Structure 1
Amino acid sequence: MKTKHYLTLEDAEFLLTRAHQYAIDQKFNVSIAVVDESGTLLAMKRMDGASPMTANLSIEKARCSAMSRRPTQVFEELIKDGQLGFLTVNSFSGMLEGAEPIIYQAQLVGAVGVSGVKSHQDAEIAQHAIQVFLALAD
C-alpha cells in the first residue's frame, strides 16, 4: 500500500489566497482556479474587474494541467508549432499558458489555473502561489 498525498480545502484556499494577493500586488484582475489531481474544482475566485470569460478559462486551464500533469504552456507551444491535432481533443480544453501542476514529493496533487492577463503573467501568478505553498509544505 502506498501513501497518497492530496490537497485539502485548506490547501486550496491557501493557494487561492497567495495567487490572489500576488495578482493584487501586480495590479492584475484575474480569475484563479485550484483543482485536485483529477481536475475537480476545489476553489475558485474571479477578481473584481476580471472579464466573465476568465472564470471558466481559469478552471479549464487548471483541469488541463492536472489531467496532463504538465504546465499548459506545453500545449500552447505545440499548437503554435503546427500540431493542430490537439485542438480536436474533446477530453479537455484550456490549452493556453496559465496553469501549472502542483507536484509534491513526486506526486501530482492538483493544479492552479489563472486567466485574465497575458499568458506568461497568468503562469507567473500560478507559479508564485505554488512555490510559496510547496516551501511551507516541507
Structure 2
Amino acid sequence: MIDTKLLELSDARAVLEAAKQEAAANGWKVSVSVVDAGGYPILFERMDGAAPATARIAFEKSRTAAIFRGPTGPMEDRIAGRLAMLALPGITPVMGGVPLVAGGQTVGGIGISGLAPQQDHQVAEAGAKAVR
C-alpha cells in the first residue's frame, strides 16, 4: 500500500493567498487556479482587472502541472523539438503552471494567467511555496 497525501481546502487557500500576495506586491492582476492531484478544481479566483480569458488558461495550467507532475514551462520549451507533444491529451504546455508537492508527492497544481510567461511562473512559484 502507498500512503497518499491529500491537498486540503486550508492548504489550497494558503496557496491561493500566497500567489495573490505576490501578484499584488507587484501590482499585477491575475487569475489563480488551485487543483488537486487529479487536476480537479479546489479553488479559483480572478483578481479585479484580470481579463476573462485568464480564468480558463489558469485552470488548464494548474491541471497540466498536477496531472503531469511537473512545471509547464519546460513542456513549452520542448515543443519546438517535439511537436507531437501538442497531441497529448489534457496538456497545456504554457509557462505558469507549477505542481504542488508535499513530502515528495504531487498533491495538486497551481496555475497563473494574466502576465508575461516568466511573471506567471513567478506568481505560481510563490503560491507553491505555501505547501513546500
Please classify the TM superposition score into its range, dividing by the shorter chain length: over 0.9
Match of 1:96 among 90, 94, 97: 94
Q: Deviations over 1:72-112 (max 9, x none)?
A: 01111011x331111222x2132100011111111110011
1-side partners of 2:4 and 2:83: how far apart? Answer: 35
Equivalents in 1 of 2:10, 2:130: separation in Å? 14
Runs of 4+ in structure 1 over 6 Å off: none
Unaligned runs of 5+ in 1: none
State the Cα RMSD in Å.
Answer: 1.1
C-alpha distance after superposition, 1:27-76 (max 9, x if no partner): 11110000100000100000111111100000000111111111001111
The amino acid of 1:114's aligned partner reads: I
| Identical-residue share of aligned pairs (%) | 35
| Structure 1 equivalent of residue 108 of structure 2 | 110
- Paired position in structure 2 for 1:65: 65
Q: Distance in 2 between matches of 1:112 and 1:88?
A: 22
SS of equivalent residue, structure 2 residue 131 = helix
TM-score (norm 2): 0.95
Query: TM-score by structure 1 length?
Result: 0.91
CA distance in 2 between counterparts of 1:65 and 1:128 reads 15
Q: Using the TM superposition, give the Cα deviation of residue 126 of structure 1 relative to its aligned residue in structure 2, in angstroms.
A: 0.9
